[in-house]
A and B are shown apart, each in its own frame.
Chain A
Amino acid sequence: MNDSSPATPPQRSSAPVTAMRLMDGGLIDRSRTLGFTFDGTRYTGHPGDTLASALLANGVRLVGRSFKYHRPRGILTAGPEEPNALVELRTGARREPNTRATTIELYDGLVAASQNRWPSLQYDLLSINGLAGPLIGAGFYYKTFMWPAAWWEKVYEPLIRRAAGLGRASGVADPDHYDKGHLHCDVLVIGAGPSGLMAALAAGRAGARVVLCEEDSRLGGRALLDGRRIDQRPAADWVAAIEAELAAMPDVRILKRTSVVAAYDHGTFAAVERNNDHLAEPPAFAPRQTLWRIVAQRSVLAAGALERPLVFPGNDRPGVMLAGAARAYVNRFAVMPGRRAVVFATNDDAALTVTTLAEVGIDVAAVVDARSEMSPAMEAAARMASALLITGGAVTRVRGSLGVEGVEIRSADGRKTRIACDLLCMSGGWTPNLHLTCHQNNRPVWDARLAAFVPGNLPSGMAVAGAANGEMSTRSAIMRGAELGVAAAVACGFRAASPDLPPTDEESTSSSPLWRVTGVTGKAFVDFQNDVTVTDIGLAHREGFRSVEHMKRYTTLGMATDQGKTSSINGLALMAELTERSIPDTGITTFRPPYQPVALGTLAGHHRGKDFRPTRLTPTHAWAAERGAVFVETGAWLRAQWYPESGERDWLESVNREVRTVRNAVGVCDVSTLGKIDVQGPGAAGLLDFLYANTMSTLPVGRARYGLMLREDGFVMDDGTVSRFAPDHFVITTTTANAAKVLQHMEHALQWLRPDLEAAVVSISEQWAQFSIAGPRSRDVLQRVVDSPEAISNAAFPFMAIAETTVLGGLPARLFRISYSGELAYEIAVAAGYGEALIRAIMEQGRDFGIAPYGTETLGVLRIEKGHVAGNELSGQTTARDLGLGRMLAKKKDYIGRVLQERPALLAGDRPALVGLRPVDTGARLRAGAHLVASGQEPVAANDLGYVTSVAFSPTLGHWIGLALLSGGPARHGERVRVWDPVRSGDVLAEVCDTVFVDPKGERLHV
């Protein structure tokens, strides 16, 4: 039936009739018409269409240009393996390149454009590349654009990419939301064709938790496409009945539009669900796609098989289509892929295409069977279709450029016949879709009878059913699916029985391979997407790229979006022929995830922008933001870096003010990010003695002490303070960066090294908001905040005193007279929920004393001025002696790191040790990271004496200062060194000095 002989009038007059659409049949909704545009031309289709089927229904055969030669290309397949029909879908920020027209579900208003052509699809100037084919075969770019090497990135690559490209990315941020999700099940069934449906049904009826994933928008697989009958009714009806039963099972989850793209260890799979790709844009708040992590005890792979093209000249012309795809367009989409067809095949499966085409009125002009012996199935089909049957023949040429106009057929006796046609259906047989069986380094095995690779060793818990396992008939697929569904459920502990097996049509699956048509000239394509021809494989062979992995990389066969789904077997078979090896000896390239292309947005999911990783906020974050603080990421924390005031031009001006305020008046800083650990129990003091290099058991209650922790290898791990609130209750602090590591270290010590000690270590970092109040007026401020001002007089509460007290009228607080800045200073802690209230109170009470908040930059300047070490110096490569802290090392006790820090190399006198640096020219700037060489020496590695760890501009001294690790260390005090910074072109002479720049005697701490 075609548009020139309308046997029956259209049933619904509202639906426009498109040229190649059948009047009835198909799984499309003719009651609704959808408008879409392709390359600016308006067309219509129906719900149920793909972009490919709708284009074919409108008589559009030319949909793209090939990657390298810009050859006209059409639609080869009806599924996700499509190598040719790649389009740019949507516009603007949602534009998505390289989308397969065969998988795009049609929606109203869809906009798609062809790719890789200029100025238009019909007249593509770069198709001249096709004439240059002999010149630009495989490896052409690598050989030609070698010199000059510097031009590769700047000139050649951009040019080549422009000429030989796929689609264009939108270039703007993706407006849609992507999700990730985690699913757990007893049985994962991959693929919902007849075998997958039976597996899911068997396992589901047994009560197992089943996840059934189907790439397509409908369940059924080839049952929907082949037009066969199952259970004495149309296969689609049988599928619908099973789907209804599965959908009613509470523990069966059906995921349509979901590709399982990877199989990992222990039954873990990755799957991409295209939740809303079938709509113009996702509904509000709904994800565009979801990346599922599926954990299954057992899996049944029922991924079907992919049809192989035949390799002959002109096999890439629009109108050359896989035989299975041609009947799929008829059966599922009610589309005629052509009006006059030739079928060229090596197998009996194509007989179904012959009869299907004939049944809907397509003139099948000839059936060319490459096999030398007459096939009864093909003969019957040809007779039914009144088609010429040519046994032992081959298609040797295709006429037509923008679309098939005819073919040249060579008979067994060598005679050539020309037949006019607009559709050439080809089938080289079917390749089991075993990709997922190989993701854990399993290799498939060659089955000579099937002339196909079939699954070899399988990932644990996986079984393979149906065509994916080489069981090509519907009947065998159904039987095997049911059997494996039962087995999977039983393996998960369920009692299961096989569902009744529905009767199916008789079918012959006889097949014999033909890897290429010989004795012909012209471009015969093996890989359509990458424009790899038979000649290119010959070239790879001649140039020694004979391993399939080398051939793949040299020719690009099997790369890009389809990853060789239609090409890899033909390619390796041709290499086998050239090397005179068997196909199994030639081998197959490695299958790696993902099975289908996955958008980067899907892998990112929610983790975009500030959600890339979690952000930790301090108790005063809202307050600091309100004050206009500039924040800095320190690990996961967001901390106030400085607090600009109006009129300040840059960070340095703000920081200098903050430093001067602390040195001359008083400042307040949120130090809640420091790790805080509660240590309780009779073994607490013993544990701390074992953890710290200095002694803690002698610390009196009510006092704090600076502590140094070493790693087992003798290097410094962390530093902090230890405060004793009761004989068996300590609170320690760690650096912000090491909070989690120190807690882990303590647990390790407690559980494995010193199980004799009874102590509990609990993180209290989140519980307490803690602020440093520093500067000569800090006590004045604090006395207005605490409930008992007299208790913190200098006499009552001396340097390194600690106490539990109350503030703001009864709020419990912990007070520590400790100083990082070198000034009279305190740290005060309250429950985190009261942190904001406390800092507001401190600021309010401190106003009379000129208080200002300060951030991490000022914190850094203050500690560098005092020569205190921080993360830059606690690099994991420094010992206590390197840092000038050797006197802290206890002599009379054991502790972690005690033995190994005595290694001779760590005691060597020329080890880099901490010194201070001041520029000889006080106007010069020092840079952290700069290297040190002796004055007058060449700045080369052989002369390297160390490097600058920390620098700051000291507003107290009026010039830059630095801390450095210098070979020989303090013994060099007074010497001059060259501070050489090749990165920022710095070359400054500096004097080596003591590390303490401000108040070297520490008198300010005790006032």
Chain B
Amino acid sequence: MSETSTLWRPPLGDALKIGRHGRRVDRAGVTVDIVRPARAWSLVARRGAADALAIAAEQELGLPWPKAPRYAARGSTFVVWTGPDRWLLVEGPAGMSDSVRATLPAGVTSHVYATDQTDALQILHLSGPRLRDALAKGVTIDLHPRSFAPGNAAITQVSHLTVNLWQISDDPIFGVAVARSLAGSFASWLTASAAEFGLEVRDGADI
């Protein structure tokens, strides 16, 4: 779909420009990588198929399938628990396929109802030494390493916005997914909240 992919507009639009924002510091306290997934799906397990799905997903996608509010990744593909028997499955940039109508492995498909959400979300990877301080300005839940470790995920509120939040590593790196239409409002909050620590926005393709 290369001829049409140039027509695609990211959810953030111009709301979060690549580069440095806020206080000028050598190393930005907060770094944002704008993730452009190849595909993203909402998955809902078919009735009674959750266990079979977990087995199939581990075999075919190599993902330890979460049955609690958790996140798991293999390569650039990751899965986030979004509710009982519900997940967000994201195929990352490295897996970028030319087929717009990309399909899930059959072994997985047979156990789920899948709904394309590729354009529904803005996914960001957040990192940096002051990340938790910046997140604390909007995230109401406890993100201290003792309470929220790598692999944990939550559906929570950031500054009146509902987001999916997950921890990727203890550097720390967090992932966040926000609805497309609200990406600008999220960016406005993030820019204001990270400004005092220095904010760097990078194109996720450069990770």
Contacts and interface: CB of A to CB of B under 8 A. Distances in A.
Interface of A: 177, 179-184, 209, 251, 283-287, 293, 295, 606-607, 610-611, 613-619, 621-622, 636-637, 678, 680-681, 758, 760, 762, 764-768, 808-812, 831-837
A814 to B, nearest CB: 11
A809 B118 CA distance: 20
A295 B115 contact: no
12 contacts: A284-B23, A610-B188, A611-B192, A619-B9, A680-B44, A681-B46, A764-B115, A764-B116, A764-B120, A810-B1, A833-B119, A837-B8
Given A177-B192, A615-B184, A832-B180, A766 B121 contact: yes
Interface stretch (B10-18, B58-66, B164-172): B10-18
Interface size class of B (residues with CB under 8 A): 35 or more
Given A181-B136, A811-B1, A832-B119, A837 B147 contact: no
Interface stretch (B72-80, B89-97, B137-145): B137-145
Contact of B137 (A179, A619, A765, A834): A179
Contact of A637 (B101, B181, B189): B181
B161 interface: yes
A285 B22 contact: yes
Given A184-B142, A614-B185, A681-B46, A810 B136 contact: no
Give the 4 A-B residue pairs with the shortest CB-CB distance, closest first: A837-B7, A766-B120, A184-B142, A760-B44
Most B-side CB within 10 Å, residue of A295, A636, A833:
A833
A179 B193 contact: yes
A184 B147 contact: yes
Nearest to B23: A285
B42 A834 contact: no
A606 B159 contact: yes
Contacts of A179: 137, 193
Given A184-B144, A809-B3, A837-B9, 4 more contacts: A182-B136, A615-B185, A812-B101, A833-B10
Given A285-B196, A681-B46, A833-B9, A767 B118 contact: yes
A622 B13 contact: yes
Contacts of B101: 812
Given A177-B192, A287-B196, A616-B182, A833 B115 contact: no
Contact of B4 (A251, A615, A636, A809): A809
B101 to A, nearest CB: 6
Contacts of B146: 209
A265 to B, nearest CB: 15
A766 B178 CA distance: 10
Interface of B: 1, 3-4, 7-11, 13-14, 22-23, 42, 44, 46-47, 100-101, 113, 115-121, 136-142, 144, 146-147, 159-161, 179-182, 184-186, 188-189, 192-193, 195-196
A606 B188 CA distance: 9
B13 A611 contact: no
B4 A811 contact: yes
B160 A614 contact: yes
B72 to A, nearest CB: 21
Contacts of B159: 606-607, 614
A764 B8 contact: no
B181 A767 contact: no
A811 B100 contact: yes
A743 to B, nearest CB: 12
B142 A295 contact: yes
A180 B8 contact: no
A767 B7 CA distance: 16
B113 A680 contact: yes
Given A184-B144, A766-B180, A808 B117 contact: no
A611 B4 contact: no
Contacts of B4: 808-811, 834, 837
A834 B8 contact: yes
B3 A810 contact: yes
A17 to B, nearest CB: 39
Contacts of B23: 283-286
Contacts of A251: 144
B203 to A, nearest CB: 15
Contacts of B144: 184, 209, 251
B182 A832 contact: no
B170 to A, nearest CB: 14
Contacts of B160: 607, 613-614
Contacts of A607: 159-160
A179 B190 CA distance: 12
Nearest to B8: A833
Contact of B44 (A615, A622, A762, A836): A762
